[in-house]
Amino acid sequence: MTTLHEPAVSPAGTPAPGALPLWPASTTEPHAGALAVGGVPLTEVADRFGTPVYVLDEDEVRERCRTYRQAFPEAEVLYAAKAFLCRAMVHWMDEEGLGLDVCSAGELELAVATGFPPERVVLHGNAKSPRDLETALRLGVGRVVIDSPSEIARLAAAVGPGGHQKVMVRVVPGIGAGGHEKIRTGTEDQKFGLSISDGYAQHAIARILDQPQLELTGLHCHLGSQISTVKPYLAAVRRMVGLMARLHEQHGLVLPELDLGGGHGIAYRPGDEALDLTTLARKVRTELAEACASAGLPVPRLIIEPGRAVVGPAGVAVYHVLAVKRTGERTFVAVDGGMSDNPRPALYGVRYAPRLIGRPGTAPLAAVTVVGRHCEAGDVLAECELPADVRPGDLIAVPVAGAYHLSMASTYNLVGRPPVAAVHAGQARLLVRRESLEDIRSRDVGI
């Protein structure tokens, strides 16, 4: 079976030779310096939609959904909508048989308005607003994940004495995992979930059991993001099953579901380690069966929530070079985007592997710093090598740009957010239009 860090054979043509493992599987190099994704030259996308622009390979997204379904045939796979959401993504997830993990009324309403079945949606959030809960109940969301004790009473009151809502409890298993401290969510010292070690999780579960309108279906945990090894997930299985065993002893409770969250790591640069999905599925399945057998419990249905690993490698960002500046020993290549369309490097130091496209470089590779256009010294996209003759007007493409770019984008310096174009079978179509200055001005209603 193809794992998520191995490029598959492209239905659109021969994969580009050699050095393009980070790019969508459909990427080809028709001639030196040119790249096409989904049969569409990236230069054509830039000409048609302008830059910056995100290019999303529909076939790559769908293939990654199918890989998850094949690796976890017995599990419920929920796409983590926070990674990137638009109506087309909702439609693709529905057709590929995935559920949705949403974090707000906005994400939920977009999904349901697009036709996604609300019973296949799970609502998360450490601080759900009244609107979040009202929308979830009005639309009939499948489960609400309880993240704090106060949420229990609020939700029960909103459901009402004659109502019914399935819930899960987000548990802090006390496991540190993830690519950066700001994206580690399984430890005790962060805002998410209820701790096992101090008894808050157990207390919350007891309170839920006293609310007849709330049906506790299982436990949930999320360890962090960009996890590249299987070991933390196995430790989480053991701790979560241990808690399930204690709940069975105390309350006679047998929970039918266990949600291990997502956080599956992908490669952003050559040499980065990615999580092996096939190994994860096999070892988690074995660990869960053994832990439940030891505890005398039936094996719960597993739920997983990949986001980045589904859409991240399917996306490419394309920029125009605006300026090249040499200061001392450094060369800065400034592009027409930056932290407004990709805040991840500024937030936690992520770096990418850009590539010159549209023409072959005629000079040897040289170390450069690719920076954005914004008024921050930390607006840095990449430390990499580009041809030494890179110049204003050139195009630069950045792979692995499908997750946490547009979804975290801003209008800093009143620069509008970029469009998203999908490519499939040699055709490109617009999914999300560029945010215009008129869009920005129209929100400013007072003097």
- Tell the burial category of 27 from Cβ atoms under 10 Å away from its Cβ (0-12, 13-18, 19+): buried
Which residues, in sequence order, are CB contacts of 292 under 8 Å at separation 6+? 241, 298, 299, 300
> What is the C-alpha to C-alpha distance for residues 440 and 443, in angstroms, rounded to an integer?
6
Is the four-CA dihedral 41, 46, 48, 49 of positive or negative sign?
A: positive
List the one residue out of 395, 379, 399 whose CA is nearest residue 387. Answer: 395
DSSP reduced 3-state for 57: strand
3-state secondary structure of 30: coil
- Size (the chain), residues: 447
Locate 419 and state its tokens. 């469009």
Q: Concatenate the DSSP letters of all residues of 290-356 into one string.
A: HHHHHHT-PPPEEEE--SHHHHGGGEEEEEEEEEEEEETTEEEEEES--TTT--HHHHH------EE
Q: Does the bond joining 313 to the residue before it have cis omega, within 30 degrees of 0?
A: no
Distances (CA, A) of 317 to 102, 279, 356, 402: 24, 30, 12, 8
Instruction: Please report where in the chains the tokens 């000079």 appear, as a residue.
Output: 363
Residue among 7, 18, 6, 11 at smallest CA distance from 38: 11
Structure tokens at 15: 């994969």
Active-site hit among 65, 86, 221, 375: 375
- Which residue from 290, 234, 443, 272 is spatially nearest to 350, judged by alpha carbons? 272
Q: Is 375 tagged catalytic?
A: yes
Residue corresponding to tokens 């937030």: 347
Could you tell me which of 415, 354, 397 has the C-alpha nearest to residue 57?
A: 397
DSSP assignments along 86-144, one per residue: -HHHHHHHHHTT-EEEE-SHHHHHHHHHTT--GGGEEE--SS--HHHHHHHHHHT-SEE
Which residues are annotated as catalytic? 375
